[in-house]
Amino acid sequence: MPSQLKTSGSDDVSMDDAPTSHQPQQDESMMDQDEVEDDEENDGEEEEEEEEEEEVQRVKLLPGSTETAASFEFANEGHTLGNALRYVIMKNPEVEFCAYAIPHPSEAKMNVRIQTYEGTTAIQALEKGLADLQDLCDVVNDKFLEARQKFQEQNGVTA
Amino acid sequence: MPRQPPTKEELEARKIVGINLETITNVHDTNYPGHYPGEDHSWDIEKFKQEFSVEIHKNDPYEASFSLIGLDASIANAFRRIMISDIPTLAIEQVFLNNNTSVIQDEVLCHRLGLIPFTAGKEGLRNFVEWQAKPRETGEPADCRDSDTFQLELKVRCEHNPDAGPHETDPTKLYKHAHVYARDIKFNPVGRQYEWFTGENAIRPVNPDILIAKLRPGQEIDLNMHMHKGVGSDHAKFSPVATATYRILPVIDIVEPILGRDAEKFQKCFPQGVIGLEKVTAEDGKRDSRYLGHEGELKAVVLDAMRDTVSRECLRHDEFKNKVKLGRKRDHFIYGVESTGQLESDDIFLQSVQHLKAKAKTFEKQLVNMVR
């Protein structure tokens, strides 16, 4: 929704324009059918997440965001992704500020605020953060398998 | 003037959280870009690959312990949280009671049944079991499939044992089926379930000796159950782990020699195996003048800081004042994962890593839609 990206004019937005939540009411009936069909081609552990998200848009750009300073709303996410994502995004030298919040415990929503220096955008910073997090997981996975292999050899266990 | 890059010792010192008698210091990670002038702490996958390491201490199916070294707490915590609440398992979700004349109430009995951990052939669990379809638009539940619903049965009736002696007082001998155990639950496979879950791969309780109810002659439990796939965030019965925890590696630094009776007392301040006693040798004296003249006495040495509980007991005694520094290594996480038995502990961790990656991946994809 590029219409919400105000690149010109005042950067400041009055509080009235920035509601705490911008998730439209989800049409539950939309998500059901396709999940059943998708089931067959899934491999391994990633399946369950994949299906649900394919249909429903779970990340939204909150109003009041500019190119370099934006808030994102993640539906059905919590501290697990929020804090991990905050860490990798803060590791980006182009990012001036990054924080996450769960505005209210009874709403399954998690907000991430990103402010970057000139030359990049908040969306790019978020994209890089998500990509870096995946790379990190790959390294952890590989190193763990390696260590387990070594441990099993040392203890005379055949895999 | 060009800044000196930090020395190795300085980099190591930054990782230590200081633990004092009443306070803690240096608790926050400072490895972020812009924190130290002239230093680059931006995300670098190659650097991470070099610095990150894994050590496995124990790898049993029901209990694993391992260290992840070189990680941030936010990532370590994400893995822990995912293991507890996001890795799916099978558990009893629906109970159809035909008859229950035992003293245990229907709803309590059903709750107990739900909490029994089950296991089955790993291949089937991984490749065959699917999520239960969502209810229809009309509100009625979707049809059950052989890949998402597993039928179990429990049918037990307690009766007098005619073979029991006249003076027998033990109810388990006096009556038949006085105790109902998890092993009395029978799995009834249908359709393709025969291909995946037969013989040693059958769906069965992890521990057959779990006591479900006690009966007296004439009482009966007769019920059918449906198992479904679910996650721990929905109900704890779906959590694949009994516990999934981490702690940060304790560090004990003996700065000044602790000798003789003090050393023995010092050893007693810690759990067994943390502090050892060694004789001061002539070499010690040569290496460190503070040991000169103490040859033959006992000195306290750190054997295994990992076993410490960081009780801070040693800081309460004046004789060790300024002789020992306690701390924790901020980026060394010692995990303890105890599986409930459906999945193997190391597998649960690996799944959690994949799960976090999958989360990031789906949002990366969605970001494209959001921008468009």
Q: What DSSP assignment string belongs to B12-76? A: HHHTEEEE-SS-EE--S---STTSSTT------HHHHHHH-EEEEEEE-SSEEEEEEES--HHHH
Task: State pTM to two decimals.
Answer: 0.87
Q: Helix B73-85 vs helix A122-154: angle between axes, to the nearest 10 degrees? A: 70
The confidence score (pLDDT) of residue A150 equals: 96
Over chain A, what is the mean pLDDT? 78
Task: Please check whether the two domains, B9-87+241-251+329-372 and B89-238, share a CATH topology.
Answer: no
Q: Do A152 and B59 touch (CB under 8 A)?
A: yes
Contacts of B131 (CB under 8 A, 6+ apart): A35, A39, A48, A51, B88, B148, B229
Nearest neighbour of B363 by CB, restricted to A48, A59, A80: A59
Q: Domain spans of chain B?
A: 9-87+241-251+329-372, 89-238, 256-322
pLDDT digits (tens, 9 = 90+) for B52-80: 999 999 999 999 999 999 999 999 999 99
Contact indicator for B354, A44 with CB cutoff of 8 Å: yes
The confidence score (pLDDT) of residue B371 equals: 63
Contact indicator for B349, B243 with CB cutoff of 8 Å: no
Tell me which H or E stretch contains A132: helix A122-154
Nearest neighbour of A83 by CB, restricted to B54, B71, B78: B78
Residue A125's nearest CA partner among A91, A150, A101 is A91
How far apart are alpha carbons B99 and B79 in whole angstroms? 43
Contacts of B8 (CB under 8 A, 6+ apart): none
Residue of B nearest to A136 (CA): B45
How far apart are alpha carbons A34 and A55 in whole angstroms? 8
The pair phi, psi for residue B15, each rounded to 5°, is: -85, -10
Contact indicator for B245, B336 with CB cutoff of 8 Å: yes
Predicted-complex ipTM score: 0.93
The pair phi, psi for residue B233, each rounded to 5°, is: -70, -20
Nearest neighbour of A137 by CB, restricted to B32, B346, B356: B356
Cross-strand bridge partners of residue A75: A109
Residue B103's nearest CA partner among B222, B224, B181, B220 is B220
- Assign A153 to helix, strand or coil: helix
pLDDT band at A20; cut points 50, 70, 90: low
Cross-strand bridge partners of residue B220: B157
Residue B5's nearest CA partner among B26, B28, B36, B31 is B36
The encoded tokens of residue B165 equal 């002696």
Cross-strand bridge partners of residue A70: A114
- Assign B255 to helix, strand or coil: coil
Q: With 90 as the cut, is the pLDDT of residue A146 above it?
A: yes
Mean pLDDT for A57-73 is: 95
Alpha-carbon separation of residue B77 from A62, B74, B84, B205, B332 (angstroms): 27, 5, 11, 30, 12
How far apart are alpha carbons B326 and B256 in whole angstroms? 13
The confidence score (pLDDT) of residue B197 equals: 96
Q: How far apart are the first and last CA of chain B?
A: 48
Nearest neighbour of A29 by CB, restricted to B71, B137, B367: B137
Q: Do A77 and B43 touch (CB under 8 A)?
A: no
Mean pLDDT by 10 residues, chain B (372 residues): 83 96 95 93 96 97 97 97 97 97 97 97 95 89 92 97 93 96 97 95 97 97 97 97 97 95 96 96 89 91 96 96 96 98 97 98 90 58
The confidence score (pLDDT) of residue B3 equals: 75
How far apart are alpha carbons B159 and B178 in whole angstroms? 8
pLDDT band at A41; cut points 50, 70, 90: very low
The confidence score (pLDDT) of residue B277 equals: 96
| B interface test, pick of A58, A65, A90 with most B CB neighbours within 10 Å | A90
The encoded tokens of residue A97 equal 């500020």
The matching CATH number, chosen from 3.40.50.720, 3.20.20.70, 3.30.1360.10, 3.30.70.260, for B256-322 is: 3.30.1360.10
Any alpha helices (H) in B180-323, and if so which ranges? 193-196, 260-268, 282-287
Instruction: Give chain A's radius of gyration (CA, Å).
Output: 20
CB-CB neighbors (< 8 A) of B355 in chain A: 45-46, 49
DSSP assigned state of B177: T
CATH number of the B89-238 domain? 2.170.120.12
Q: Do B353 and A140 touch (CB under 8 A)?
A: yes
Q: Which residue has the tokens 């930090």?
A: B6
The confidence score (pLDDT) of residue B141 equals: 84
Residue B351's nearest CA partner among B362, B367, B363, B339 is B339
Q: With 80 as the cut, is the pLDDT of residue A36 above it?
A: no
Could you tell me the fold of the domain covering B9-87+241-251+329-372? Gyrase A; domain 2 (3.30.1360)
- Strand pairing category for A69-75 and B241-254: unpaired
Q: What percent of chain A has pLDDT over 90?
A: 62
Q: Do A131 and B351 touch (CB under 8 A)?
A: no
How far apart are alpha carbons B321 and B328 in whole angstroms? 19
The confidence score (pLDDT) of residue B220 equals: 97
